[in-house]
Chains A and B, each alone.
Chain A
Amino acid sequence: MAKLVMTEDETMLADSARGFLDDKAPVKALRDLRDAGRTHDADLWREMAQMGWAGVLVPEAQGGSDMGHAAANVLAAEMGKTLAVSPFLSTAVIAATALRQVSDARAEKALAAIASGDATYALAIDEGNKFAPDNTAMQARAEGNGFRLSGKKTFVVDGALANRLLVLARTDAGLTLFDIPADRDGITRNRQNMIDARDSARIEFDDVQATGDDVLGQVDDAMSVLRPALEAGQAALAAEMSGLAAGAFGMTVGYLKERKQFGTTIGSFQALQHRAAHLWCEIEVTASAILNAGRMLDEDPDNAALAVSLAKARATSTAQLAVQEGVQMHGGIGMTDAFDMGFYMKRARVGAEWLGDYGYHAEIVARERGF
């Protein structure tokens, strides 16, 4: 396996991404969107597409930059640092990975639309309050040559902004994944007012028509297409959360160095020093798991389950520790809406739940390790 060191290309990608995001998508951009009641910045996404980010996992033949999962994770981590708002995970990572599992003209066209920034996707998978794809109950009833979809999906991240939906539904002998336009008749999308101010919807499907062409991969066999997409998404989300942790940590250490109480900077107090040092250790250890997950997805994707779940579990616990320490060490100001730390805390909570929480992924680690 390739080494667990960032390559020169990856370091350059991170540097250029950081420059762009600090300029175009700082935390203030998220704040401004929230205050304006918006969850999407179409211009920002277009610029990301022009830089090749939307097509990070799209083959060059379809106009993508095809940089691979480790690179996608680098971008996600940088976006996490500034809490950049974009459909990157849903579209460029999850949908693109799903579409790449299918080699037909329709999938190629869809991939090209992702790379150009025209197509935005959301994955409609959850039905209950926890991630549990195997328990999917939503029905896709066979009718003639096609299907009728009926049921409800919840926590569809980017579900209100997306122009296409990947929908997981139960068919006769298993689960089937559909790729349909978000405005098809019978679909009702309700954008929810999320704690992290990002895009998410509850979606109702009322006898929605789908053809055989709308099926991604094989009927009754969603997982051969969806499993790689979920793993790619989980790893990139883990990367985003590790970036989030690093962002919150940077603010916190900065504050420890500048805030004065009892006539000295609070960073000179050992009680705080040791907690900050512990947090740094956790962030470092998690960074290894993220790097490893990217390498596995690029080099041995069929055996990446352990690496991905390890990354998501670690990133979840680390991000949660980072934001809790972040608020606590900032004292009163950390509690105010005017200060940015709260945005990190709320995004960490959403990230913790999306695509499987700590317990879900720790179970996979346990299973993979034989207990």
Chain B
Amino acid sequence: MQSEAELEGFRNELRDWLEQNCPDEMRDGQNIETAICWGGINWKFTSEAQKQWLERCAAKGYTVPTWPVEYGGAGLSRAQEKIFHQEMARINARSPLESFGIWMLGPALLHFGSHEQKLHYLPPIARGEVRWCQGYSEPGAGSDLASVQTKGEDKGDHWLVNGQKIWTSYADKADWIFALVRTDREAPKHKGISFLLIDMSDPGVETRPIKLISGASVFCETFFTDVKVPKHQIVGEENRGWDVAKYLLTHEREMISGGGQGLQGGRALGAVLAESAGEGGLTDATLRADAMRCEVDALAIGMTLERYKDQAEAGTGAGDASAMLKYMGTELNKQRHELLMAAGGSDALEWDGPLGDRPADWLRTKANSIEGGTSEVMLSIVSRRVLGLPG
């Protein structure tokens, strides 16, 4: 535990650093899809400021503030991390880097990876040099994820991987994929899966984007045809990949639930609605009442996220909280975007109209309660594991 004085010292130092290093263009608080820096071998920075901001943060470990310093992080404690987010929010700074490497693979590697693997894979993630995607779902394995059929045949020094993944977000832009592969076809379905790291540039890896209702193609189909994956590119033990997958899903769910950003640090929904309702502000009584309810719930869910982080740090365990947060956060986010569309009226009905990405963002949220486990799967998890009802 750091003393109050030490924490204040950290805050002041950080504040100065941010003041001097965060470019003005990066202080607009934008967190929409087009403003995000995803990094990767083929990443094209949208501005010099975006590049500078990433490089400066990476040099301090601030792209992954809580990771250990030797793996590219800043080694911040939970208390310092809170301060970090507060100070970033204070100047409305954009996140320097977002990626599946940060949200998902990183935490999984930190927990299950060998020291060598951590040293090899984590720093490039932290510096935004390698972009990862997640190969979980398959056409026949959606909610029933453990039914994955993509197979890896043992060929001595490597696995020969064949099969198809679907809903692989940004697979067409990613450099590497972490994938669930069946390496033992005889074992019960949860016991025959391995967690493999695969280079997307390997021969036999193909991707095909899927056009979504929002017009965007963030999801892809990914095909593996006789892809050779060296044996050292496995996380955890052979056939124990489900443990890694489950651990990682909790991180994914927390991320999709809205994290610390959208729900609490952000602007009040009512204020945003009032703005887009135009002159006179939020006069529609029904809309205003819905917005108030949404705001109440958003604040309380944000606090719950904080509470679980505090509990996790205190070692009292958050249990199956991630399922709850994922369910509550995504359902709320969908409501929020329904209200944003209603407030926008006919202006929100035009692609690239006066409200920009609003219709696309609205449609994007419909995937929130499906990806990473549907709301119904989340409720079943709570029912079985928390309430002890028969599964």
Most buried by A among B293, B306, B327, B387: B387
Residue A365 at the chain B interface, CB threshold 8 Å: yes
Q: B295-317 toward A: CB 8 Å interface, digit per residue (1/0)?
A: 11101110110110011011010
Complex Cα distance, B300 from A168, in Å, reads 32
Selected contact of B379 from candidates A278, A285, A314, A369, CB within 8 Å = A278
B307 near A291 with CB under 8 A, answer yes
**A278 proximity list for chain B (CB < 8 A):** 327, 379
**A359 proximity list for chain B (CB < 8 A):** 289
Known: A270-B380, A288-B303, A288-B307. A257 touches B268 (CB 8 A): no
Most buried by B among A253, A274, A287, A306: A274
B270 near A371 with CB under 8 A, answer yes
Selected contact of A257 from candidates B380, B386, B389, CB within 8 Å = B389
B282 near A365 with CB under 8 A, answer no
B300 near A286 with CB under 8 A, answer yes
B389 near A273 with CB under 8 A, answer yes
B327's nearest neighbour on chain A, judged by CB, is: A281
**A362 proximity list for chain B (CB < 8 A):** 289, 292-293, 295-296
**B378 proximity list for chain A (CB < 8 A):** 277
Residue B245 at the chain A interface, CB threshold 8 Å: no
Most buried by A among B268, B297, B307, B328: B307
Known: A370-B270, A371-B271. A289 touches B300 (CB 8 A): yes
A125–chain B nearest beta-carbon distance, Å:
24
Query: Could you tell me which residues of chain A, from 120 to 153, have a CB within 8 Å of some CB in chain B?
Result: none
Complex Cα distance, B297 from A359, in Å, reads 14
B329–chain A nearest beta-carbon distance, Å:
10
A268 near B297 with CB under 8 A, answer no
Complex Cα distance, B306 from A292, in Å, reads 10
Selected contact of A277 from candidates B273, B304, B387, CB within 8 Å = B387
B380 near A369 with CB under 8 A, answer no
**A284 proximity list for chain B (CB < 8 A):** 304, 321, 324
B383–chain A nearest beta-carbon distance, Å:
4
**A363 proximity list for chain B (CB < 8 A):** 292
Most buried by A among B303, B380, B388: B303
Most buried by B among A267, A287, A371: A371
Residue B382 at the chain A interface, CB threshold 8 Å: yes
Residue A4 at the chain B interface, CB threshold 8 Å: yes
B380 near A288 with CB under 8 A, answer no
Complex Cα distance, B270 from A277, in Å, reads 29
Most buried by A among B274, B380, B390: B390
Known: A5-B316, A277-B387, A281-B382. A289 touches B303 (CB 8 A): yes
Q: B310-354 toward A: CB 8 Å interface, digit per residue (1/0)?
A: 110110100001001001100000000000000000000000000
Total residue contacts A-B, CB cutoff 8 A: 119
A291's nearest neighbour on chain B, judged by CB, is: B307
Complex Cα distance, B288 from A359, in Å, reads 11
Chain A interface residue count, Cβ-Cβ cutoff 8 angstroms = 37
**A285 proximity list for chain B (CB < 8 A):** 297, 300-301, 303-304, 328
**B383 proximity list for chain A (CB < 8 A):** 273-274, 276-277
B123–chain A nearest beta-carbon distance, Å:
32
Query: Could you tell me which residues of chain A, from 261 to 317, have a CB within 8 Å of some CB in chain B?
Result: 265, 267-268, 270, 273-274, 276-278, 280-281, 284-289, 291-292, 306, 310, 313-314
Residue A335 at the chain B interface, CB threshold 8 Å: no
A256's nearest neighbour on chain B, judged by CB, is: B389
**B292 proximity list for chain A (CB < 8 A):** 362-363, 365-366
**B303 proximity list for chain A (CB < 8 A):** 4, 285, 288-289, 291-292
B314 near A366 with CB under 8 A, answer no
**B386 proximity list for chain A (CB < 8 A):** 277, 280
A274 near B389 with CB under 8 A, answer no
A369 near B268 with CB under 8 A, answer yes
A365 near B296 with CB under 8 A, answer yes
**A4 proximity list for chain B (CB < 8 A):** 303, 306-307, 310-311
Most buried by A among B292, B314, B327: B292
Query: Could you tell me which residues of chain A, from 317 to 363, have a CB within 8 Å of some CB in chain B?
Result: 359, 362-363
Complex Cα distance, B299 from A274, in Å, reads 24
Selected contact of A371 from candidates B268, B313, B314, B321, CB within 8 Å = B268
Most buried by B among A287, A288, A314, A365: A288
Could you show 8 A-B contacts with beta carbons less than 8 Å apart?
A253-B387, A284-B321, A310-B299, A365-B299, A366-B288, A370-B271, A371-B268, A371-B271
Besides the contacts A4-B306, A281-B327, A366-B288, what 14 more A-B pairs have beta carbons closer than 8 Å?
Answer: A274-B376, A274-B380, A276-B389, A284-B304, A284-B321, A285-B328, A289-B300, A359-B289, A362-B289, A362-B293, A362-B295, A366-B292, A370-B268, A371-B274
Residues on A close to B: CB < 8 A?
Answer: 3-5, 253, 256-257, 265, 267-268, 270, 273-274, 276-278, 280-281, 284-289, 291-292, 306, 310, 313-314, 359, 362-363, 365-366, 369-371
Residues on B close to A: CB < 8 A?
Answer: 268, 270-271, 273-274, 281-282, 288-289, 291-293, 295-297, 299-301, 303-304, 306-307, 310-311, 313-314, 316, 321, 324, 327-328, 376, 378-380, 382-383, 386-390
